[in-house]
Amino acid sequence: MKQRLFTILILLAFVGYDTVNAQWMPAPGEAQSKPVYIVGGTMHIGNGQIIENGAIGFEKGKITMVTDKDIDKIPKDNAQVINAEGKHIYPGFISPNSLMGLVEISAVRPTRDFDEVGDYNPHLRSIIAYNTDSWVTPTIRSNGVLLAQIRPQGGRISGGSAIVQLDAWNYEDALVKEDGIILNFPSLVNRKGWWGEPGGLEANKQNQEQLAELKSFFLEAQAYCKQDNPSETDLRFEAMRSVFNKEKKVYISANHAQNIIEVVDFIKTFKIDGVLVGGRDAYLVADVLAESKIPVILNKTHRLPYRADEDIDLPYKLPLLLKEAGVEFCIQAERSSGEQRNLPFTAGKAVPYGLSKEDALQSITLSAAKIMGIDAQFGSLEAGKSATLFISTGDALDPISNHVEVAFIDGREVNLENKQKELYRKFMDKYRLEQKQH
């Protein structure tokens, strides 16, 4: 008997292993062929609202209905119906300001494609290096992050950012929008030393020169863009056309209070569609940001206070402080690729420090979509928008309960397998242990 059970186990293990062997990089889901209805559970709309025991339906990739009434009347023929009782339905999380797909292993130079030579590179396009076959991406979406903004870094203008959906065959497939350019605002303060031997902070003596240089770049670009057909082409300036006609946003990083005020002034001066990125000291000038209606892609909460004298929970409560001041913000994760999957938890960390759960959710869904200009399609569970959403058995902003069961991007069911789950199964099978989680 024992012998037999053993054989069966081995067989099962083998079969189990074999069937998912190809799932390290699962194939993208197929286009939605029939309507899907998710019934019951708690629907987190993404705009602060919750619908209990309602239903959501989508067809051909678009949400067709979101309702809390007449659930019985949902047509079940030729449709997939998912019972979400006791579960949570969320719009896909959106991770802003990330290096996802632009780097595979950060310590291995050939896998890094995010930092080009030169200070002014608005003409660079991050989307063309986006690696849809990264091992990392599947691990991110299986925590509920279904969209991301990818961006280069370094220099004054690092290049163009793009928004991608995380279930694609190739970068053209993945592209949602090339949405902006990345600008690193001249800092008032430099850190002395180097990474291994950091010094204190000191004033950036080149600050004024750098600022003047930046302004003259924008002025020259503006003048250039006034010509429809310049006799000589400047690729950098050409790339700025979409900035001045507001097709693209300018994502401007700044963390020091003084710098943030200067960023606000810069945005007003050049009449650009500007977004503040970072905003570590934003609480000191939150009223200025609110008044100028400049939104913020906020640093992750998972960081230490910048100054020893600060409230030790300042990074955790900064989202609340901005919320109270009326600043629109979304929250980013650690920029590195591997950390993107912790986006929901970095947002959730603001909750015990006063931000409501739905506001925390909004900061990685609808607010992120608005700030990056994709809210017509994404960011909330509303009819007409893309069916990019998922079901978690528990609260998805808490690592103890985040468990994504089913996810859809544009109505296509996402294969939630990934390399890590596969390795888990492989070795649980080796040890003949019962898998408790996928």
Partner 1 sequence: MKKIVGLLFLFWQIAAIAQVTYPTNGAKEIRNKHYAFTNATIYKDYQTKLEKASLIIKDGKVVTVSPSAFIPADAIEVDCSGKTIYPAFVEIISNYGLPEAKPAGEGRRYATQLVSDKKGAYYWNEAIKPETLAYELFASDSEKAKKLRAIGYGAVVSHQTDGIVRGSGTLVNLNDKSENENILKDQVASFYSFRKGVTKQNYPSSLMGAIALLEQTYLDGEWYKNNGHKEERNISLEYWNQQQDLPAVFLTSNWQEILRADRLGDANNVQYIIKGGGDEYKRLEELKASNASLIVPVKYPKPYDVEDPFAAHYVALKDMKHWELAPYNLARLDEANIEFALTTDGLEKAGDIMSGLKTAIKKGLKKETALKALTYAPAKMLRIDNWVGSLKDGSSANFLITSGDIFEEASILENWVQGDQYLIKQENTKELKGVYDLKLLDLRQNYKLEVKGKPASPEMNIVVNDTTKIKVKSSIQGKRITLHFTPQDAQQKIRLNGMMEGDVWQGKGQDLEGNWIDWQVDNRQELSKEEEKKEGENSKEETANLDETKDGTKEDKIGEVTYPFLPYGWTKEPKQKTVLFKNATVWTNTDDGILEETDVLIRDGRIVSVGKNLDGGSGETIDATGKHLTCGIIDEHSHIAISRGVNEGTQASSAEVSIGNVINSDDINIYRQLAGGVTTAQLLHGSANPIGGQSAIIKFRWGASPEEMKFENADKFIKFALGENVKHSNWGNNGTIRFPQTRLGVEQVFVDFFTQAKEYEEAKRNNPSKVRRNIELETILEIMNKERFITCHSYVQSEITMLMRVAEQFGFNINTFTHILEGYKIADKMKEHGVFASTFSDWWMYKFEVNDAIPHNAAILTDVGVVTAINSDDAEMGRRLNNEAAKGVKYGGMTEEEAWKMVTLNPAKILHLENRVGTIESGKDADVVLWSDNPLSNYSKAEQTYVDGRCYWDIEKDKEMRKLIQAERNRLIQKMLKAKEGGAETQKPSMPKHKHYHCDDIEDEGN
135/270 with CB nearer partner 1: 135
DSSP string, 260-272: HHHHHHHHHHHT-
Q: Is residue 384 near partner 1 by the rule CB under 8 A?
A: no
Cβ at position 158, least distance to partner 1 in Å: 21
Instruction: Specify whether the CB–CB gap between 248 and 242 falls below 8 A.
Output: yes
Q: Which of 34, 60, 192, 268 binds partner 1 (CB under 8 A)?
A: 192
Task: Sort 21 into a burial class: Cβ within 10 Å, 0-12 / 13-18 / 19+.
Answer: exposed
Q: Tell me the one-letter amino acid at 41.
A: G
Count CB-CB contacts under 10 A for residue 230.
12
**Biggest distance spanned by C-alpha atoms of the chain:** 86
In 195-279, which ranges are E strands?
197-203, 249-254, 274-278
Instruction: Specify whether the CB–CB gap between 147 and 182 falls below 8 A.
Output: no
Q: Which of 115, 238, 398, 405 binds partner 1 (CB under 8 A)?
A: 398
Q: How many residues can be counted in the chain?
A: 438
Euclidean distance between CA atoms 368 and 215, whole angstroms: 28
Per-residue x/- marks for partner 1, 162-181, CB under 8 A? --------------------
Using CA atoms in the order 395, 398, 403, 407, what is the torsion angle rounded to 10 degrees? 70
Beta bridge partners of 62: 59, 386
Q: Which of 74, 81, 129, 189 binds partner 1 (CB under 8 A)?
A: 189
Q: Is residue 223 near partner 1 by the rule CB under 8 A?
A: no
In which element (H, E) is residue 426 found? Answer: helix 419-430
* Residue closest to 273 by CA, chosen among 251, 298, 301: 251
Q: Which stretch binds partner 1 (CB under 8 A): 84-92, 212-220, 271-279, 428-436?
A: 428-436
Cβ at position 238, least distance to partner 1 in Å: 36
Contacts (CB under 8 A) with partner 1, residues 322-361? 336-338, 341-342, 345, 348-349, 351-353
In which element (H, E) is residue 181 found? Answer: strand 175-184
Q: Is residue 397 near partner 1 by the rule CB under 8 A?
A: yes
100/181 with CB nearer partner 1: 100
Cβ at position 334, least distance to partner 1 in Å: 10
Q: Which stretch binds partner 1 (CB under 8 A): 101-109, 116-124, 218-226, 290-298?
A: 101-109
Cβ at position 361, least distance to partner 1 in Å: 13
Number of residues that bind partner 1 (CB under 8 A): 62
Euclidean distance between CA atoms 108 and 224, whole angstroms: 39
Euclidean distance between CA atoms 71 and 53, whole angstroms: 9
Beta bridge partners of 69: none
In 299-415, which ranges are E strands?
329-331, 389-392, 404-409, 412-413
Cβ at position 273, least distance to partner 1 in Å: 27
164/240 with CB nearer partner 1: 164
Q: Is residue 256 near partner 1 by the rule CB under 8 A?
A: yes
Q: Is residue 205 near partner 1 by the rule CB under 8 A?
A: no
Cβ at position 322, least distance to partner 1 in Å: 18
Cβ at position 309, least distance to partner 1 in Å: 5
Q: Which stretch binds partner 1 (CB under 8 A): 77-85, 157-165, 216-224, 423-431?
A: 423-431
Q: Which of 123, 207, 303, 354 binds partner 1 (CB under 8 A)?
A: 303
Euclidean distance between CA atoms 361 and 88, whole angstroms: 12
Which chain residues interact with partner 1 by CB under 8 A?
104-108, 135-136, 189, 192-193, 196-203, 256-258, 281, 284, 302-305, 307-309, 311-313, 336-338, 341-342, 345, 348-349, 351-353, 397-403, 420-421, 423-424, 427-428, 431, 433, 435-437
